[in-house]
Structure 1
Amino acid sequence: MQAAKYFSVIIASTIKFIGGPLAGMALGLSWLETAICTVTGMMLSVLAITFAGAALEALKRRYQKQRPKRFSRRTRLAIRVWKASGLAGIALLTPLVLTPIGGTVLAVSFKVHKGQILLYMLISATFWAIIQTLAIYQLPVLKGFFS
């Protein structure tokens, strides 16, 4: 039965990082179990996108009807973050703002080495999983909600 709880937290955090700590608390896992499952979930999506990134990009180009705008608002923001802080900035923002999939796609699009993507995302996922899980487990409002 514990495996199903772990799997639920892992799946929740592959898509939206904050879903891991929320699911872990709702399922009654300890903060450490929740943090580990949250990191595992994010890293699963990072691994999948990192190693399938080139194939996905080629597939997108093949079926795209028209050329995208060279500089949209979104690409300008991505370039600004990249120039200011590089991969470390993207990795730091991934769990909070970009989602595991979005941050990894952004890192892959800047042609960063796969090993670097995995390392920086692992460090970021571990840091934010501990911070967010402990913060959520300490909120008295949420304790009453899930009890």
Structure 2
Amino acid sequence: MQEEILKVVTIILLTMLKFIAGPTLGFAGGFSLLSTILITITGMMCSVFIFTFLGKLLREKVFPRFFRKKRKFSKRSRRFVTIWKKYGIIGVAALTPIIFTPIGGTILLSSMGTPKEKIIFVMLLSAIFWACFFSSIIHFFGAQILPSFMQ
């Protein structure tokens, strides 16, 4: 029982950093499709909640201690603004699991002044869609491909 809990917590923590970790590690850990989807959604939404509600505190108090102040208009920040202007809230949320990390997408939406409730809602929809999509593909093709590697 403790092993299973440790697996779940580890997958959630890794999914908070990189979304694809949820479906791949859920499959590798032997979890069912539904369990993998729920673990993946939980991991992404933990990131979203932390960085939505504690984002300002982290930006003002924690980050300055570890990172030097960078120039405002770096290549990366320009790319974020371009994506924001081109795709808006829904586009950023949809691209978060693919291009950004859950942390990056949440910080981008927060820094653009998106209301917290809206961030949580669109990120939840994105997490549900992409968790179902990636987990289904990995569970279907993983079961097909994995036995050939085991020989």
TM-score (normalised: structure 2): 0.87
RMSD of the TM alignment (CA)? 2.1
Q: How many residues align?
A: 146
Give the aligned partner of residue 4 of structure 1: 6
Cα distance, 1:69 vs structure 2: 2.2
Letter in structure 2 aligned against 1:115? E
Give the aligned partner of residue 42 of structure 1: 44
Distance, in Å, in 2 between the alignment partners of 1:64 and 1:19 is 26
Mean Cα deviation higher: 120-129 or 101-110: 101-110
Give the aligned partner of residue 92 of structure 1: 94
1:136 aligns with 2:138: yes
Change (3 A) 1:103 1:145: farther
TM-score (normalised: structure 1): 0.89
User: Alignment identity in percent?
Assistant: 40
Letter in structure 2 aligned against 1:92? A
Structure 1: 5+ residue stretches without partners: none
Give the aligned partner of residue 19 of structure 1: 21
Change (3 A) 1:70 1:8: closer
Letter in structure 2 aligned against 1:38? T
Give the aligned partner of residue 30 of structure 2: 28
Mean Cα deviation higher: 133-142 or 91-100: 133-142
Distance, in Å, in 1 between the alignment partners of 2:105 and 2:91 is 10
